[in-house]
Amino acid sequence: MAPVTPERADPRPERHDAGMGIRVGLVGAGGVGARHARVLSGFEDVELAGIWDADAGVAAALAGAVGAPVAAGLDSLLDRGLDAVWLCVPPFAHGDLELAVIRAGLPFLVEKPLAADLAVAERVAAAVAAAGLPTATGYHWRHLDTVDRARDALAGAPVRLVDARWWGTTPPPTWWSRSDRSGGQVVEQATHVLDLLRVLAGEVAEVVGGAAPSTREGRDVPDATAAVLRLDSGAVGTVSTSCVLPAPTAAALEVVADGTWVHLTETALRIRTAAGDEDVSPAVDGRTAVDRAFVDVVSGRPAPPGLVDVAEALATHRLAWAVTEATRTATTVRVPR
């Protein structure tokens, strides 16, 4: 991994009147970059002013599909009078990219996880804090109205037990199967439910765990991991992942509080109390809401409560890293603060 050093942001250059809409550049034109490009192209107040990918063919294909220009390189992209940049690269590709965007004085939305390891994420977060730039991250579940509903249901009921689960397949990108490229399944996938665990149950103090090593050639990401959490509040929890199933099977957070059970997925919420069960479907599409939220911020409107900036994402990444380390080493790991 390339070493990175925090750098001071230059003053932001003059830009066009954001009231007329904002100019956005996009880096990384793979699966999630294509999703963001389509969402952004659907906003009347956004101009997708350039797309760059390390693979020029991938960039050209997406640019053609959404009617945006291709940039020949990062410098040429950042030189297009942008108001913000969307960074949609794999976990191993973070660090220098963010520092270049910070040097250019540009706000950015970066996909989760912040990095494949902890050191790069810490350095990027420190550089963002020093520059004072607005940021957002791809923790789009936080924008679901069901998360607010779950929080309301748990208000005043002390949480005693949590269970975060991500059981599914091995995703196709080759980088995913290598821990040093993806960070592993906890860092790359379960991070979504660990983020919600922090929101609904509070911070985790320490983690102990174990892993079932990979049985697939070419993949060092474990077949399964399991961890036990101790929360600041005194509650306990479990986290489990597996990537050996033929289809996505469980991506969920369950919370047991005094008198209340909450079961939350990206598409459904069930609340059980003494009054009975309540099933709620989200009215919000988090994948669109996350882009809308950051466009609003860059345009000068207030940040919506669901927006997870880099500083907040770092707290979730520290937890995911601690779970990964605990399962890798079968030791107790304290979550860094």
Among 93, 109, 121, 147, binds ligand NAD (CB under 6 A): 93
- Report the residue from 9, 24, 26, 27 that binds ligand NAD according to the rule CB under 6 A: 27
In angstroms, give the least distance from the CB of 175 to ligand NAD: 6
Stretch in the footprint of ligand NAD (CB under 6 A) among 22-30, 121-129, 242-250, 326-334: 22-30
Contact between 54 and ligand NAD by CB under 6 A: the answer reads yes
Site string for ligand NAD, 111-130 (x = CB under 6 A): xx------------------
Which of 103, 105, 127, 130 is closest to 114 using CA atoms?
Answer: 127
Chain positions 58 to 77 lying near ligand NAD, rule: CB under 6 A, are: 58
Q: Using the rule CB under 6 A, is 25 a contact of ligand NAD?
A: no
Closest distance between ligand NAD and the C-beta of residue 274, in Å? 35
Q: Give the x/- contact pattern for ligand NAD in 129-148, rule: CB under 6 A.
A: ---------x-x--------
With binding defined as CB under 6 A, does residue 31 bind ligand NAD?
yes
For ligand NAD, the nearest residue by Cβ is 30
| Least CB distance to ligand NAD at residue 228 (A) | 25
C-beta of residue 67 within 8 angstroms of C-beta of residue 158: no
Q: Per-residue contact track with ligand NAD, 298 to 337, x per CB under 6 A?
A: ----------------------------------------
CB of 64 to ligand NAD, least distance (A): 15
Footprint of ligand NAD (CB under 6 A): 27-33, 53-55, 58, 88-91, 93, 97, 111-112, 138, 140, 173, 188
